[in-house]
Amino acid sequence: MQIKPILAALRRHKSGTILIALQIALTLAIVCNALFIIEQRVSRLSRTTGMDETNVIAIANRYVGPGTSFTPTVKTDLAAIRNLAGVEDAYATNSYPLRNGGWSMGVRLKPDAKKEITSTTLYFIDDHALKTLGVKLIEGRNFNAGEVISLDPRNSTSLPQVIITKALAQKLFEDGKALGKTIYLSQEGKPSTVIGVVEKLQVPWVGTWAGKFDQNAAMLPAILDSNYQNFVVRTRPGQQEAMLKALPKTLYATSRMRVIPEETGIRTFEQVRARAYETDRGMAILMGIVCAVLLAITAAGIVGLSSFWVGQRRKQIGVRRALGATKNDILSYFMTENFLIALGGVIVGSLLAVGMNQWLFTRFEMERLSLTYVAVGVVALLALGQAAVLAPALRASRVSPVEATRTV
């Protein structure tokens, strides 16, 4: 390759060369980090909940009016819901995966331990919950109807039986065998015996703060005696649409003394999921757009400046052609020139990308950039540069040797 003459020529176009290289470097740094953010968000929102999410409806319900105990009302409501022809099963709970609101609690193995081993979310459920959610019980047994009690949430939250997720079992016990063992879920020091382990169930929160315990769930057999209840309903296949309309009607027919919020009161689980990850999806889409536009602008900049160089050097090209250089020689000259500039750009850009990630890491709790992203970015930008310079370079290669004789 004729690298030396190219370098000599570039030395005469310092500002243009530096500008293109700088632009490539900045683009690489931003695109690498943006792609990395996209990957993080996408991997977050593609986590599974451990449920069978199709045909599930979630209802947020709040009872109004005086009442000494809400539990009988909850039971009446549940009976009415389960009686609907299109409903397979249903249960009432304080929270469910992706609801973005619930209880978290520290778990201990000894009642007097000061430090908790890990955090978990608490789901208060009944014997119908596992079937409704479609989670898989891998060890032990489900609650039976007799174990489900009415619990005043303002008093105690610990109950004698608990079903936990496999992830929680593994965090609590080194061998992961939790069945029959005792854990402590409150500060009052009342023990709970693990009677069952489910394969997987996500916590209600999707944020990074819950990332460390996002599969830790403890299920306790109780109906909370509270005016606020969430009903989770599994419909028969094909009945979801009909049930979305029938469920509020049924509930209001049971009693009008309740509030079911208009927009968020009755949702399919698909809607629950979409709402939970809306911000993450938005961020990923935004980053994607930024990457695309940045690459387009950089490409346009390269086309613009290269075209100018070709225009400026028409006479020299003509001379080279007259002296025997082939079209291919001219083409490869401009391609190589661009490659050298881009190479300089990506070297600086890689350093910038890592530096930028370092800065984001300290400021925004981002993870470390994997070098694969830098490598992919480098290849992409070198390819982009070559693609962008192709049109001006082809135009240059078509310059006729006659140009050499003109305007002298």
Partner 1 sequence: MFGYYLDLAMRSLKRNRMLTALMILAVALGIGTSMTTLTVLHVLSGDPMPGHSQQLYAPQIDPQGADSKTPDDEPLDQMTWIDGMNLLRAKRADRQALMTGGAVPIQPDNAAIDPFYTKARYTTADFFPMFEVPMLYGHAWRGEDDDAKARVAVISAKLNEKLFKGEDSTGRTIRANGADLRVIGVIGDWSPNPHFYDLNMGDYAKSEDVYLPLATSRDLKMSRSGSISCWGNGSDAEEALETESCIWLQFWVQLDTPAKAGAYRDFLVHYSQEQKVLGRFERSPNVALLNLMGWLDYKKVVPSDVKLQTWLAFGFLVVCLVNTVGLMLAKFMRRAGEIGVRRALGASRRAVFAQLLTEAGIIGLVGGVGGLALALLGLWLVRKQPDGYATLAHLDLPMLAFTIVLAICTTLLAGVLPAWRACQVAPALQLKSQ
Q: Does 65 bind partner 1 (CB under 8 A)?
A: yes
Residue 319's φ and ψ, nearest 5 degrees, are -60, -45
Q: Which of 227, 230, 255, 336 binds partner 1 (CB under 8 A)?
A: 227
Kind of pairing, strands 217-224 and 149-151? parallel
Binding mask 356-385 for partner 1 (x = CB under 8 A): ----x--xxx--------------------
170 or 250: whose CB is closer to partner 1?
250
169 or 247: whose CB is closer to partner 1?
247
- DSSP designation for 108: B
Q: Does 203 bind partner 1 (CB under 8 A)?
A: no
Q: Does 288 bind partner 1 (CB under 8 A)?
A: no
Q: Which of 282, 292, 398, 406 binds partner 1 (CB under 8 A)?
A: 282
Q: Does 256 bind partner 1 (CB under 8 A)?
A: yes
What does the alpha-carbon distance between residue 302 and residue 19 come to, in Å, rounded to a whole number?
A: 10
What does the alpha-carbon distance between residue 224 and residue 385 come to, in Å, rounded to a whole number?
A: 63
What does the alpha-carbon distance between residue 84 and residue 245 come to, in Å, rounded to a whole number?
A: 12
Binding mask 303-332 for partner 1 (x = CB under 8 A): -xx-xxx-xx--------------------
Contacts for 130 with CB less than 8 Å, ≥ 6 apart: 137, 142, 163, 198
What does the alpha-carbon distance between residue 95 and residue 54 come to, in Å, rounded to a whole number?
A: 18
Nearest Cα to 289, choosing from 51, 83, 30, 14? 30
Residue 325, Cβ neighbours under 10 Å: how many? 16
CA atoms within 13 A on the CB side of 387: 11
The helix-helix angle for 278-312 and 314-322 (nearest 10°) equals 60
The number of residues that bind partner 1 (CB under 8 A) is 53
Residues 152-191 that bind partner 1 (CB under 8 A): 154-156, 187-188
Q: Does 279 bind partner 1 (CB under 8 A)?
A: yes
Q: Does 353 bind partner 1 (CB under 8 A)?
A: no
Q: Does 338 bind partner 1 (CB under 8 A)?
A: no
187 or 405: whose CB is closer to partner 1?
187
Integer angstrom CA distances of residue 53 from 48, 62, 201, 203, 371: 9, 24, 12, 15, 36
Binding mask 26-45 for partner 1 (x = CB under 8 A): xx-xx--xx--x--------
What does the alpha-carbon distance between residue 97 and residue 383 come to, in Å, rounded to a whole number?
A: 44
Chain centroid to Cα 13, Å, comes to 45
Q: Does 149 bind partner 1 (CB under 8 A)?
A: no
Q: Does 112 bind partner 1 (CB under 8 A)?
A: no
Contacts for 125 with CB less than 8 Å, ≥ 6 apart: 91, 93, 143, 219, 220, 221, 222
Nearest Cα to 349, choosing from 29, 49, 42, 123? 29
196 or 385: whose CB is closer to partner 1?
385
Least Å distance, CB 273 to partner 1, is: 13
Least Å distance, CB 316 to partner 1, is: 13
25 or 232: whose CB is closer to partner 1?
25
Least Å distance, CB 254 to partner 1, is: 15
Residue 383, Cβ neighbours under 10 Å: how many? 11
Q: Does 64 bind partner 1 (CB under 8 A)?
A: yes
Least Å distance, CB 342 to partner 1, is: 14
Contacts with partner 1 by CB under 8 A lie at: 15-16, 19-20, 22-23, 26-27, 29-30, 33-34, 37, 62, 64-66, 114, 154-156, 187-188, 227, 256-257, 259, 275, 278-279, 282-283, 286-287, 290, 293-294, 297-298, 300-301, 304-305, 307-309, 311-312, 360, 363-365, 407
